[in-house]
Amino acid sequence: MSRVGRVERITKETSVVVEIDLDGSGKVDVSTGVGFYDHMLDQLGRHGLFDLTVKTEGDLHIDSHHTIEDTALALGGAFKQALGDKVGIYRFGNCTVPLDESLAQVTVDLSGRPYLVHTEPEKMAPMIGEYDTTMTRHILESFVAQAQIALHVHVPYGRNAHHIVECQFKALARALRYASERDPRAAGILPSTKGAL
Ligand SMILES: [Mn+2]
C-alpha cells in the first residue's frame, strides 16, 4: 500500500502543489522561488527519504512570507494524508543533528494533535538571501497545524543563521522519517492505547 499525499492549495496570494511519498528514496523536485527555502525542503526530502515535489508560485513581489507559509501548510496536509491510518508505524521519532557550531534536537509524536514547542538562539542574522529567519518558527507552526503532530524543536546553541536553520530541517527530516517508518514488530497494530491517532 503506497503512502502518498497530494495537496493543491490555490489562493489569491499563492498557488501551491505538494506531493510526498513517505516510502521514497529522497528524490526531490522543489521550486518555491525562494532559494534558501528550496534548499531546506531539499534537506527534508533527502534526509527523510521522502520523495517530494513542491511547486509554489507566490506573490514574491510583496515578500516571501505567503510563499513560505502556504507551502508549509500544504506540506503538512500532504504529510498527514500520506500517513493514512498510521497502523504499524513507530509514531515517535527523534534526532539530534549538529551542523558545525550549531545543534538541533527534534522530537516528534504523530499524535493527531497539533502542538509546537520551539526554541532557537534569538541573536541571528535576520535574512538568509530572501529567507526571513523569523519564518522558521512560522513554517513549523504551519506544518504542525496541518500535519496534526506534536513537534519539539530546540537549538540550544548556534551562531551562523544558515547553520541554525539547516540543522533544524535536517533533524526534522530524520525525526519524521523515524516516526513515520513502519515498525516490523508492529505490523497491523495501531500504536495507541486509545485506539485512535
Ligand atoms: Mn503568516
**Is residue 107 a part of any domain in this protein?**
yes
Residue ranges of the chain with pLDDT lower than 50?
none
| 149: CATH | 3.30.230.40
CA of 67 to the centre of ligand 1 (A): 10
**Is residue 127 a part of any domain in this protein?**
yes
CA of 2 to the centre of ligand 1 (A): 32
- The DSSP H or E segment spanning 171 is helix 161-180
CA of 13 to the centre of ligand 1 (A): 12
**Is residue 196 a part of any domain in this protein?**
no
Using left for φ > 0, alpha for ψ between -120 and 50, and beta otherwise, residue 33 falls in: left
Query: In whole angstroms, what is the distance from residue 197 CA to residue 195 CA?
Result: 7
CA of 132 to the centre of ligand 1 (A): 12
Looking at residue 1, its pLDDT comes to 81
Backbone φ and ψ of 146, nearest 5°: -85, -35
**Is residue 78 a part of any domain in this protein?**
yes
Domain that holds residue 10: 4-186
**Is residue 66 a part of any domain in this protein?**
yes
Instruction: Point out which residues pair with 56 in neighbouring strands.
Output: 16
**Is residue 111 a part of any domain in this protein?**
yes
Q: Report how many domains make up the chain.
A: 1
Query: In whole angstroms, what is the distance from residue 13 CA to residue 10 CA?
Result: 8
**Is residue 197 a part of any domain in this protein?**
no
> Does the global pTM surpass 0.95?
yes
**How many CB atoms neighbour CB 67 within 10 A?**
25
Query: Of 64, 60, 82, 69, which Cα lies nearest the Cα of 9?
Result: 69
Query: In whole angstroms, what is the distance from residue 139 CA to residue 134 CA?
Result: 9
Place of cell 533527502: 46
Tell me, what DSSP letter sits at residue 193? T
**Is residue 20 a part of any domain in this protein?**
yes
Counting Cβ atoms within 10 Å, is residue 144 exposed (0-12), middle (13-18) or buried (19+)?
A: buried
Backbone φ and ψ of 103, nearest 5°: -135, 135
**How many CB atoms neighbour CB 36 within 10 A?**
22
